Amino acid sequence: MGSFSIWHWLIVLVIVLLVFGTKKLRNIGGDLGGAVKNFKEAMGEEKNKPTELPRQGDSQGTTIEGEVKDKQQS
């Protein structure tokens, strides 16, 4: 009673084909395949991206060079 035979699965497949139609099922399959392909490409890009940028200079922080035009003391 817990397992289905091949005949049960064939009947379910025929009912699904009658309800949704082959064109709609083909579109769903194409959309699902495209989503999986995009996901795999994104995962490949993440593997190639470095996790942390290398630090330059001293370890105390980042120095920003610039010019001060107006300096006021409060």
Task: For 26-54, write each residue's pLDDT tens digit.
Answer: 898 899 999 999 999 988 877 776 666 66
Mean pLDDT of all residues belonging to the chain: 80
Rounded to whole angstroms, the Cα distance separating 4 from 10 reads: 10
Residue 63 lies in a domain: no
Rounded to whole angstroms, the Cα distance separating 12 from 26 reads: 17
Residue 62 lies in a domain: no
Confidence of residue 64 (pLDDT cuts 50, 70, 90): confident
**pTM confidence score:** 0.43
Helix then strand then coil, in percent of the chain rounded to 5, is 55, 0, 45
Q: Who wins on pLDDT, 1 or 4?
A: 4
Is residue 21 predicted with pLDDT exceeding 60? yes
Q: What is the mean pLDDT of residues 53-66?
A: 64
Residue 38 lies in a domain: yes
Residue 57 near residue 63 (C-beta atoms within 8 A) = yes
Tally of domains in the chain: 1
- Pick the closest to residue 38 from 48, 26, 46 (CA basis): 46
